[in-house]
Amino acid sequence: MALEVENCTNPFLPQLLDQIFEIYRNQAESGSLTKEESGKLFYDLSAFLGEELVFRSLQLLDDYIFTYYYFKNKNNLYVVELSKGSEYFRVLPRINYCKCDFFQCHVLQLPKGILYQDIPSGQVGILEDWSEESRVSFTCQHVLALRLHQFLCPGTKTSEQYLKKEELKNLQKEIFRD
Ligand SMILES: [Zn+2]
């Protein structure tokens, strides 16, 4: 699949991304995605989202633990937490939003560092090692990593928890709280 590099403001980007994943869905679901096919998937995603974002999202799959929070059963996935040591990011499946610096600054284009307080202070300057090309982006590495994690189902470094409705509501609220 040959793809042109697209601007991330392309209004069709969400559908285009769905289409890319769709091409590989059968193989991914049956666990028969070859190395070559997953390489092509990452290449196609890179054409739209930028190589750096895709690369960093894949790194999260290796380095972070993904905790899936459910209500009652697995059809009700509400929140996913990506964590490594004391650092964590919570995102909602299929929702393009994250509290991380990258999302706030390079996706929403908000002024750096004034909108939220609960990002550990050790992460100040975290955006400085991103390249110039990544400064306008459709999504962040956490949102993309979750999508890739759900798609590729790596199994390792995954945990699952069932929460009460009230607990889930609080988790969700926290994601959008400034
Ligand atoms: Zn993020």
Report how far ligand 1's centroid is from the alpha carbon of 98 (Å).
Answer: 5
Residues with a beta carbon under 5 angstroms from ion ligand 1 = 98, 100, 103, 140, 142
CA–centroid distance, residue 77 to ligand 1 (Å): 19
On the 0-12 / 13-18 / 19+ scale of CB atoms within 10 A, 5 is exposed
Tokens 């969700």 sit on residue: 172
pLDDT in tens, 36-61: 999 999 999 999 999 999 999 999 99
- Give the chain's mean pLDDT: 86
**HSE toward the beta carbon, residue 54, CA cutoff 13 A:** 15
Ligand 1 centroid to Cα of residue 151, in Å, is: 18
pLDDT digit string, tens, across residues 149-163 = 999 977 778 899 999
Q: Could you tell me the distance, in angstroms and rounded to a whole number, from the CA of residue 36 to the centre of ligand 1? A: 28
Question: For residue 123, how far is its CA from the centre of ligand 1 (angstroms)?
Answer: 13
Between the CA of 92 and the centroid of ligand 1 the distance, in Å, is 11
Kindly state the percentage of the chain with pLDDT values over 90.
57
pTM of the complete model = 0.85
- Cβ neighbors of 105 (< 8 A, separation 6 or more) are 111, 112, 127
